[in-house]
Amino acid sequence: MIPTWLTVSDEVQAALAERRPVVALESTLIAHGLPWPVNLETARESEAAVRAAGAVPATVAVWHGVPIVGLNSAQLEELATSKRAFKASRRDLGAAVALKRLAATTVSATMALAHAAGIAVFATGGIGGVHPGDQMDISADLTELARTPVLIVCAGAKSILDLPRTLECLETLGVPVFGYRTDRFPAFYVAESLLPVSCRVDSPGEAAVAFAAHVRMGGRGAVLAQPCPAEVALGEAEFAEVWRFAEHDAQEAGVRGAALTPLLLARLAELTAGRTLSANRRLVVENARLAAEVAVAGS
């Protein structure tokens, strides 16, 4: 039963009622993660990839106070061009609704709204995690994974994070990390870190049954981590070098909290002459495609 406070598009409602596969997509990358017009192009490419794989896309946002699962084309474009869209984490959903904000949803907020609609598979670029230098600076993505039964298909955690502590936190929270055709945890722009995943799966079907078993036995969320395509990925040493410059600039600017990640991503794009932007765009679309394949396999 879809709650009365949540609006679900007719197409998504019909698919859910008919038990057809649906994939949720987040909207922060549209409003805050990618520049215009790459943001809108990537959002539309992601939806097209989901459809091509046999599932229905459901992009999620808060639309002037109304939580929506399944934005239409005009809403996607307005969100992509808005200069005032609020960035809503799980914590912020109530305020965004009460104050009638236009809000792009982060991973944690998208998970919560997708689950409320009855959607179990969600695609994004990379999850949040533990930030370097401050073990208490932990993304709400991790705690939401511990309480919400949604499979997140991603390129691992963002390369700018403390990946060992992020994986330790996920283990503590009981969140499995499935590596898609890899034994090593992907690091967003970097195809693989040296860190192991908790389990490897080699097909969408294996991912679907592993997640179903996890939930059936009382588990909640899970991560399906797919490496960034090799032809656009950065090498580990190359990324480490540009990261040092980006981190220094952020420290000099005194930026922290929710504004930190968008600043770092923008600076990395500048330092790599747009290569991180190209990698981000490509991996987002590939994750959407894989999520649809998993949703189809599990339907």
- Rounded CA separation 32/41 (Å): 14
Q: Summarize the chain as % helix, strand, coil (round to 5).
A: 50, 15, 35
87: phi > 0 → left, psi -120 to 50 → alpha, else beta; which? beta
Residue 50 contacts residue 57 (beta carbons within 8 Å): yes
Residue 15 contacts residue 9 (beta carbons within 8 Å): no
Catalytic annotation, residues:
26, 158
- Rounded CA separation 253/214 (Å): 43
DSSP assigned state of 67: E
Q: Which alpha helices (H) appear in the chain, and where do they start and end?
A: 10-17, 28, 38-52, 73-81, 93-98, 107-117, 140-147, 163-172, 204-216, 236-253, 260-271, 275-297
Q: What letter represents residue 245's amino acid? A: F
Residue 125 contacts residue 188 (beta carbons within 8 Å): yes
